[in-house]
Chains A and B, each alone.
Chain A
Amino acid sequence: MSKNNKEYLIKRDNNEYEVVIGLEVHAQVLSESKLFSASPTKFGSEPNTQVSLVDAAFPGMLPVINEFCIKQAIKTGIGLNARINNRSIFDRKNYFYADLPQGYQISQYKNPIVGEGSITLDMPEGEKKIGIERLHLEQDAGKSIHDIDPKNTLVDLNRSGVALMEIVSKPDLRSLDEVNAFIKKLRSIMRYLGTCDGNMQEGSLRADVNVSVRKKGVLELGTRCEIKNVNSIKFMQMAIDYEANRQVDVLEEGGTVDQETRLFDTKKNETRSMRTKEDAHDYRYFPDPDLLPLELNDEFIEDIKKDIPELPDEKKKRFIEKFKLSPYEANILVSDIETSKYFEDVSIKSDIKLATNWITGELFALLNDKSIEITECPISSENLAKLINLIKDGTISGKIAKNVFEIMADGNKDPEKIVEEKGLKQQSDPKELEKIIDKVVLDNPKNVGAYKSGKDKLFGFFVGQVMKQSNGKANPQLVNEILKKKLS
């Protein structure tokens, strides 16, 4: 197996294979209630406590569309630069399963709410546009639990009826890095919009992955396999890598890839056939007669457009143009909406350049260290701005600031108070500094002589001595100036 980050190719003897990947992302709509019922959607609740008669498919119960979920889907569509369809239809996808109470899933088949769009990825070698085929709304099923009771399967219907957006990409992805970038960008957009929390651990974001391979240079797509329900980026990458290599092996041995649905076994790191095309379900899709076609007028859609916040791509552009950030810095700061909010908060109250450096440096290191999100950061944006202002106005040096930052990380203390309490204020009185410097010069006659005879490097020694004498509080700029005079 050989990988190349720029070009993800699978090499065998004389052949090179390109991997073609498409994703069907299932994103849970951020909504208090379900797609067709008023039940709450809270994660982690006691089994079967978030279930209405509609969710449990009692006789005579009817679905009623939750307008909020419709708006969320439209918002997401707008975020994906996609066409919003004025008319869409909810269909029934019929199949039997214990955690599917109706015996069908209400989904959108031929007429989805959102049509074609795109997502722009920022790859090291430049931007890449990935096509979006469609976005449609559907109900989630319940959960079958097989490992509590030895004899029975238990069913939890809390998820039954929760609104999902299925976002289907075009087969435009070509590498594991692009898959990573795609999921992250999609998640970022949805978090900006507040339409999906993107929490993969809680299953709010999961994907079916379509993989095919073709010899490099061949235009025709190979036969694809669909890997069902992968719930982390890492597993997606592992599954794709395994599956692509498997397909290449099949082709290299003179075989043909069968179109099938496969499962990824995370323990064994392999994909296994779940069902072939022949025994694929016949879902008997037909328009749900309990629901009228969803008709949206332009005014409704335009009203939603007015509520769309600045999205990562625009924000990035603004950060580069207005704040003079590098594209790299801008990317890091906009990828997560909370980070970008934090950054803007800090920079407005302090200094753009220093805010950029402190956030991408010290703050990110801290978050990483503690494995926490920026929303859980112990240092408020206000206090970080104060710290930066202390540096900017010369109250403390950058070095001292790092110590103060560490103290702040333990409990969001006001940096001004820390500086005051610990007496960390920078020594900027030239007369006081002169006293220290004079003493250092007097105490080191040999080094003074050596410096004067041309050993320029010794300047640093004198600075160090002064800093030491001042307990690191001496204003380095002033020290430099005075030292130069004294030593000349």
Chain B
Amino acid sequence: MSEITNFKLCDLVDKVKKKELSSKEITEAFINRSKKSTKLNSYISDNFDDAINRAKEFDSKPNLNKKIPGIPMAVKDLFCTKNLRTTAGSKILENFIPTYESTVTQNILEHGGIIIGKLNCDEFAMGSSNETSYYGNVQNPISENLVPGGSSGGSSSALAAKLTPATIGTDTGGSIRQPASFTGTVGLKPTYGSCSRYGIVAFASSLDQAGPMTHDVKDCALLLEVMSSYDVKDSTSVDFVRGNYLNDLSDNIKGKKIGIPKEYRVDGMPKEIEKLWENGIKIIKDNGGDVIDISLPNTNYALPAYYIVAPAEASSNLARYDGVKYGFRSKGENLIDMYEKTRSEGFGDEVKRRIMIGTYVLSSGYYDAYYLKAQKVRRLIKNDFDEAYKKVDAILTPSTPSSAFKIGEKLNDPVSMYLNDIFTVPINLAGLPAISLPAGHDKNGFPLGLQVIGKAFDEQTILNIAYSIEKNIGYKNNINDWWIK
């Protein structure tokens, strides 16, 4: 049975449709492997028993017209799931069981998916290594004691370790693409407004976007189709015609113009990443794409602007976790004392750090200098992309400035941790779609990713470019199941 977990999402869909595999067989296979993989700590909560029942239910009346018929999937624990504990990686929501379903997970259910569990993540998605989770570190299946990236670290770990055939994450500054890059998997952050934010525990509302994480580009196209929908329950959801991403997937990129931004050649970038990038450029050229040098002059200001806007929104978004209505509450002498104790004990250090930064930058007297200025920078960054897209169809960059690092290595150096997001953050600020795909290894054999950035709502183009690179690069993860005894 163990080979079932080696199949990718599209293969599994195919096998179910051809009745070669039942939902129960697939679901049990991933659950069994998950059970053997507790050392990775990818899960916060499991839904195994319920999932098997649902698989049986599916098999009793299989609807094979669904996009992901009877396919099991574990999801990031930032998505609220009805009757299934949702913690956002925080102690403050340790016992929170939603009575409602997020739109994205609802879409997965409606397309035939079965949720087998909730995956670990940085607390409130704040982190780049999954080390801020109240539920502990997550192991990268690539190598012991290696971080899986973050904040969707449980997702990348579970996916790379084949505990789930595909998964979903959220990306506020790189939280899908960086962990995908660290684990040799594919991760796509859609255009802001593509996937509904309804029912996703909010980190920074103007940046948060859910997206697919998969083994390859084909799976990614399919899962994006499942996830993306216009939703009246989210005022920032955009009503555009969503593509048939899988059906229209093509590796033909002849004549496509791909920009190479000079500002992404940062100082001290490892040689191997430069080589990776060059290799990507070569593949594009070999496949008939036009490579054009471009400039995104305000790139340098993206990270500082991000670390004002995101914490500002977070400081307000997290105010609702006050011990009054749900979640963790600590006893206090009075209301203020209860607030202070609840939030001091309920939130971890990184979350508190960002709440403090956010509160500071919104304070009267500092608002103009920080928040307002950061919003102006954000507009400039968006303008940079708008200018670039007059000349090119997409942009190619590395996903991260380094490969995965050791657990604990950057924990006490928040700035160096924040620098991880340097290539991903500008895309969130501009609200654009971007995909990270595995494109090589560093000297330790750790995965490295390339990022393809697209025009707003043009997910198809970046999927196609990524598909073309993927076909030519022949990347393969070397995972030896070290965590299974």
Interface residues of A (CB under 8 A from B): 53, 56-65, 92, 94, 96-98, 101-104, 153, 155, 282, 284-286, 289-292
- By beta carbon, the residue of chain B nearest A54 is B233
- By beta carbon, the residue of chain A nearest B320 is A57
- Which of A53, A59, A62, A155 is in CB contact (< 8 Å) with B93? A59
Bound CA span A403–B222, Å = 84
Q: Which residues of B contact A63 (CB under 8 A)?
A: 235
Bound CA span A62–B102, Å = 11
Q: Does B335 lie within 8 Å of A153, measured CB to CB?
A: yes
Q: Does A286 lie within 8 Å of B198, measured CB to CB?
A: no
17 A-B pairs within 8 Å (CB atoms) are namely A53-B99, A57-B320, A59-B201, A60-B197, A63-B235, A94-B316, A97-B335, A98-B335, A102-B319, A153-B335, A284-B315, A285-B362, A286-B316, A286-B367, A289-B313, A290-B205, A292-B236
Bound CA span A98–B325, Å = 9
- Which of B79, B204, B320, B359 is in CB contact (< 8 Å) with A284? B359
Asked if B304 is an interface residue, CB under 8 A from chain A, the answer is no
Bound CA span A416–B93, Å = 73
Pairs of residues from A and B, 6 with the lowest C-beta to C-beta distance, nearest first: A103-B319, A289-B205, A289-B206, A284-B362, A60-B199, A57-B320
Q: Does B204 lie within 8 Å of A289, measured CB to CB?
A: yes
Interface size on B, residues (CB 8 A): 44
Q: Which residues of B contact A285 (CB under 8 A)?
A: 362, 367
Apart from the given pairs A60-B98, A65-B235, A292-B236, 12 other A-B contacts in the complex at a CB distance below 8 Å:
A58-B80, A59-B86, A64-B233, A94-B319, A96-B336, A96-B339, A103-B318, A104-B316, A284-B359, A284-B367, A286-B316, A289-B206
- By beta carbon, the residue of chain A nearest B78 is A60
Q: Which residues of A contact B316 (CB under 8 A)?
A: 92, 94, 103-104, 284, 286
- By beta carbon, the residue of chain A nearest B339 is A96
| B239 nearest CB across to chain A (Å) | 12
Q: Which residues of A contact B300 (CB under 8 A)?
A: none
| B232 nearest CB across to chain A (Å) | 7
| B67 nearest CB across to chain A (Å) | 24
Q: Does A60 lie within 8 Å of B319, measured CB to CB?
A: no
Interface centre among A96, A97, A102 (most CB of B within 10 A): A96
Q: Which residues of A contact B315 (CB under 8 A)?
A: 94, 284
- Which of A60, A98, A102 is in CB contact (< 8 Å) with B80? A60
Q: Does A290 lie within 8 Å of B236, measured CB to CB?
A: yes
Bound CA span A33–B334, Å = 33
- By beta carbon, the residue of chain A nearest B198 is A62
Q: Which residues of B contact A103 (CB under 8 A)?
A: 316, 318-320, 322
Q: Which residues of A contact B96 (CB under 8 A)?
A: 59
| A70 nearest CB across to chain B (Å) | 13
Q: Which residues of A contact B319 (CB under 8 A)?
A: 94, 96, 102-104
Interface centre among A59, A60, A96, A290 (most CB of B within 10 A): A59
Which residues B350-372 have CB closer than 8 A to chain A?
359, 362-364, 367, 371
Asked if B326 is an interface residue, CB under 8 A from chain A, the answer is yes
Asked if B417 is an interface residue, CB under 8 A from chain A, the answer is no
Given contacts A60-B200, A101-B320, contact A286 B362 (CB under 8 A): yes
Bound CA span A62–B317, Å = 11
Q: Which residues of B contact A61 (CB under 8 A)?
A: 198-199
Bound CA span A97–B234, Å = 26
Q: Which residues of B contact A155 (CB under 8 A)?
A: 324
Q: Which residues of A contact B437 (CB under 8 A)?
A: none
Q: Does B363 lie within 8 Å of A282, measured CB to CB?
A: yes
Q: Which residues of B contact A104 (CB under 8 A)?
A: 316, 319
Which residues B193-233 have CB closer than 8 A to chain A?
197-202, 204-206, 232-233
Q: Which residues of A contact B166 (CB under 8 A)?
A: none
B80-109: CB near A (< 8 Å → 1, else 0) gives 100000101000010010111010000000
| A414 nearest CB across to chain B (Å) | 53
Q: Which residues of B contact A65 (CB under 8 A)?
A: 235
Q: Does B363 lie within 8 Å of A284, measured CB to CB?
A: yes
Bound CA span A114–B360, Å = 31
Q: Which residues of B contact A98 (CB under 8 A)?
A: 324, 335
Q: Which residues of A contact B206 (CB under 8 A)?
A: 289
Asked if B427 is an interface residue, CB under 8 A from chain A, the answer is no
- By beta carbon, the residue of chain B nearest A290 is B205
Q: Does A62 lie within 8 Å of B363, measured CB to CB?
A: no
Asked if B450 is an interface residue, CB under 8 A from chain A, the answer is no
Q: Does B202 lie within 8 Å of A60, measured CB to CB?
A: yes
Bound CA span A423–B52, Å = 88
Q: Which residues of B contact A92 (CB under 8 A)?
A: 316
Bound CA span A290–B204, Å = 10
Bound CA span A62–B339, Å = 23
Bound CA span A233–B244, Å = 63
Asked if B312 is an interface residue, CB under 8 A from chain A, the answer is yes
Given contacts A60-B102, A96-B339, A290-B205, contact A284 B322 (CB under 8 A): no
Q: Which residues of B contact A282 (CB under 8 A)?
A: 363-364
Bound CA span A53–B335, Å = 23
Q: Does A64 lie within 8 Å of B235, measured CB to CB?
A: yes
| A339 nearest CB across to chain B (Å) | 42
Bound CA span A64–B232, Å = 8
Q: Does B324 lie within 8 Å of A62, measured CB to CB?
A: no
| B230 nearest CB across to chain A (Å) | 13
| B452 nearest CB across to chain A (Å) | 27
Bound CA span A242–B460, Å = 70
Bound CA span A60–B203, Å = 9
Q: Which residues of B contact A289 (CB under 8 A)?
A: 204-206, 236, 313
Which residues B115-174 have CB closer than 8 A to chain A?
none
Q: Which residues of A contact B359 (CB under 8 A)?
A: 284
Bound CA span A155–B98, Å = 21
| A101 nearest CB across to chain B (Å) | 6
Q: Which residues of A contact B100 (CB under 8 A)?
A: 53, 58
Given contacts A103-B316, A103-B319, contact A286 B371 (CB under 8 A): yes
- By beta carbon, the residue of chain A nearest B309 is A289
| A461 nearest CB across to chain B (Å) | 81
Q: Which residues of A contact B102 (CB under 8 A)?
A: 60
Q: Which residues of B contact A153 (CB under 8 A)?
A: 335
| B210 nearest CB across to chain A (Å) | 11
Q: Does B324 lie within 8 Å of A60, measured CB to CB?
A: no
Q: Does A57 lie within 8 Å of B325, measured CB to CB?
A: yes
Bound CA span A53–B80, Å = 12
Which residues B369-426 have CB closer than 8 A to chain A?
371
Bound CA span A58–B317, Å = 11
- By beta carbon, the residue of chain A nearest B324 is A98
Q: Does A58 lie within 8 Å of B235, measured CB to CB?
A: no
Q: Which residues of A contact B79 (CB under 8 A)?
A: 60
Q: Which residues of A contact B318 (CB under 8 A)?
A: 103
Q: Which residues of B contact A286 (CB under 8 A)?
A: 312, 316, 362, 367, 371
| B44 nearest CB across to chain A (Å) | 15
Q: Which residues of B contact A101 (CB under 8 A)?
A: 320, 324-325
